[in-house]
């Protein structure tokens, strides 16, 4: 029987090192999941004002994404990732001493810029380091590192927050600094060697530099992304409200349900994407969008745990297919010297959905009820599915 993880042996050392650094960084991610609670309980602001903190973080990530992406093309992806990690770590040490809420919001905006500068640079780095036929697997490996880390950080953070909230800032800062040190002192292979292999595997004429706003492929793709990404972010927006407030289950039950998503990603996403690496991007993206839309949309007809679990499995498979395929498509259409910039705009669409999705879902749930919310999610998923089928490769 074939080892489902056998495809990982073809992933270059450099990408493994990046995944390890990402795991170190994400394992200490404690501040963001609890920052609204910190504002409410420690800074003594209202719950609605505490919610603004996450919105401000989203705005910072949104407006900075294209600029940090373009910057990585100029100064180098590795240098930018190191700067991001060291700057974030140093910044978080100072964060917990701030007691003025307006200043706290201002620092959150800056923190988002520093922290999120890592994302487009890391995606551009992966795109440059591996041939197209293995990129989906490489992006899936990076997501595995993120999800493994996020299965550790928030859990430990929840325990530490009961002792002293300020500890979260220090541990998060140390994890960022440790990841930066790891990237600095790890022995990365020279990029020229990888590039030669890429040229043999992909004998194509490199695209010339273009204005992002004139690239119709990219603009169309970003517009196609947004509906299904808004649907996806219901897992942190409307879904917990629906399960706890509307259906009457406990928060502990919701926590167990979220573990279904995490466990599937950890054990299945990498082999799934390796097995699908030869799929046409258009088909992969359309299938991923469809599964997300159906998985959330059919919640309109559920009120018991077994069908909810089944639908979580459906949209999780959509997520596992959709996001690595998205990164691969952007890497494929981006000119070689602009991959960071293209990944920045790709990240901007993701940040926009992060800003709008949870708020929109919660609002629709409150004003129009769960049936209309989930049917709306189905419609949004189908819109992205149709748009993906019309992509130009």
Whether residue 84 is found in the same domain as residue 230: no
Q: What is the pLDDT of residue 298?
A: 97
Q: Who has greater pLDDT, 378 or 213?
A: 378
Q: Which has the minimum average pLDDT: 6-10, 43-47, 97-101, 221-225?
A: 6-10
Q: Which has the minimum average pLDDT: 30-39, 126-135, 192-201?
A: 192-201
Q: Which of 27, 381, 53 is nearest to 228 (CA)?
A: 381
The CATH number linked to 299 is 1.20.1250.20
45-94: per-residue pLDDT in tens?
Answer: 887 788 788 888 989 999 999 999 999 999 999 999 999 999 999 999 88
Q: What is the pLDDT of residue 191?
A: 56
Number of domains the chain contains: 2
Burial annotation 154-189 (CB, 10 A radius, 16+ → b, else e): bebbeebbeeebebbbbbbbebbbbbbbbbeeeeee
Q: What is the pLDDT of residue 198?
A: 44
Whether residue 61 is found in the same domain as residue 7: yes
**Encoded tokens for 266:** 């950890």
Whether residue 155 is found in the same domain as residue 266: no
H helix or E strand, kind and range, residue 284: helix 281-297
Whether residue 121 is found in the same domain as residue 105: yes
% of the chain at pLDDT higher than 70: 93
Whether residue 62 is found in the same domain as residue 112: yes
Residue 193 has pLDDT above 80, yes or no: no
Instruction: State the Cα–Cα distance between residues 315 and 374, nearest whole angstrom.
Output: 13
Residue 194 has pLDDT above 60, yes or no: no
Asked if 130 and 15 count as a contact pair (C-beta separation under 8 A), the reply is: yes
Q: What is the pLDDT of residue 181?
A: 97
Which of 175, 204, 233 corresponds to the end of one domain?
A: 204
Whether residue 176 is found in the same domain as residue 325: no
Q: What is the pLDDT of residue 6?
A: 67
Which of 144, 171, 204 corresponds to the end of one domain?
A: 204
Residue 206 has pLDDT above 80, yes or no: no
Residues in the chain: 393
Instruction: State the Cα–Cα distance between residues 101 and 109, nearest whole angstrom.
Output: 12
Which of 153, 174, 204 corresponds to the end of one domain?
A: 204
Instruction: State the Cα–Cα distance between residues 82 and 89, nearest whole angstrom.
Output: 11
Whether residue 291 is found in the same domain as residue 169: no
128-176: per-residue pLDDT in tens?
Answer: 999 888 899 999 999 999 989 888 888 888 888 888 888 989 999 999 9
Q: pLDDT class for 210, splitting at 50, 70, 90?
A: confident
Range of the domain at 349: 211-393
Instruction: State the Cα–Cα distance between residues 107 and 16, nearest whole angstrom.
Output: 32
Whether residue 273 is found in the same domain as residue 181: no
Q: Which of 61, 30, 23 is nearest to 355 (CA)?
A: 61
**Which segments of 183-283 are extended strands (E)?**
none
313-340: per-residue pLDDT in tens?
Answer: 999 999 999 999 999 999 999 998 899 9
Burial annotation 304-320 (CB, 10 A radius, 16+ → b, else e): eeeebeebbbbbbbbbb
Whether residue 281 is found in the same domain as residue 303: yes
Number of H helices, E strands in the chain: 17, 0
Whether residue 112 is found in the same domain as residue 152: yes
Q: What is the mean pLDDT of the chain?
A: 89
Q: What is the pLDDT of residue 4?
A: 63
Whether residue 177 is found in the same domain as residue 240: no
Asked if 130 and 194 count as a contact pair (C-beta separation under 8 A), the reply is: yes
Whether residue 30 is found in the same domain as residue 141: yes
């Amino acid at each position: 029987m074939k080892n489902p993880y056998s495809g990982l042996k073809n992933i270059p050392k450099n990408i493994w090192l990046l995944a390890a650094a990402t795991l170190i960084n994400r394992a200490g991610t404690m501040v963001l999941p609890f920052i609204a609670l910190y504002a409410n309980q420690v800074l003594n602001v209202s719950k609605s004002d505490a919610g603004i903190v996450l919105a401000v973080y989203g705005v910072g990530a949104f407006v900075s994404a294209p600029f940090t992406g373009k910057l990585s093309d100029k100064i180098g992806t590795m240098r930018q990732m190191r700067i991001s990690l060291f700057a974030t770590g140093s910044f978080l040490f100072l964060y917990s001493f701030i007691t003025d809420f307006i200043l706290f919001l201002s620092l959150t905006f800056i923190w988002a810029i520093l922290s999120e500068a890592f994302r487009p640079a890391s995606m551009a780095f992966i795109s440059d380091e591996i041939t197209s036929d293995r990129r989906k697997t490489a992006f899936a490996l990076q997501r595995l590192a993120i999800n493994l880390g996020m299965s550790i950080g928030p859990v430990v953070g929840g325990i530490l927050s009961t002792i002293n909230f300020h500890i979260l800032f220090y541990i998060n800062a140390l994890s960022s600094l440790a990841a930066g040190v790891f990237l600095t002192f790890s022995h990365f292979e020279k990029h020229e060697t990888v590039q030669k292999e890429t040229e043999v595997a992909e004998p194509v004429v490199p695209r010339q530099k273009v204005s992002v706003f004139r690239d119709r492929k990219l603009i169309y793709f970003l517009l196609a992304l947004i509906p299904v990404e808004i649907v996806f972010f219901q897992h942190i927006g409307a879904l917990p409200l629906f399960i706890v407030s509307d259906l009457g289950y406990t928060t502990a039950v919701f926590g167990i349900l979220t573990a279904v998503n995490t466990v599937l990603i950890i054990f299945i996403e990498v082999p799934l994407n390796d097995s699908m690496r030869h799929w046409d991007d258009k088909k992969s993206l359309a299938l991923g969008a469809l599964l997300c839309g159906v998985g959330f949309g059919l919640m309109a007809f559920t009120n018991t745990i077994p069908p909810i679990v089944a639908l979580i499995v459906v949209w999780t498979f959509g997520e596992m297919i959709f996001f690595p395929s998205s990164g691969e498509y952007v890497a494929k259409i981006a000119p070689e010297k602009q991959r960071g910039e293209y990944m920045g705009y790709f990240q901007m669409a993701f940040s926009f959905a992060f800003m709008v999705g949870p708020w929109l879902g919660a609002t629709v749930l409150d004003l129009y009820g769960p049936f209309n919310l989930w049917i709306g999610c189905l419609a949004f998923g189908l819109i992205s599915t149709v748009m993906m089928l019309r992509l130009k490769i």
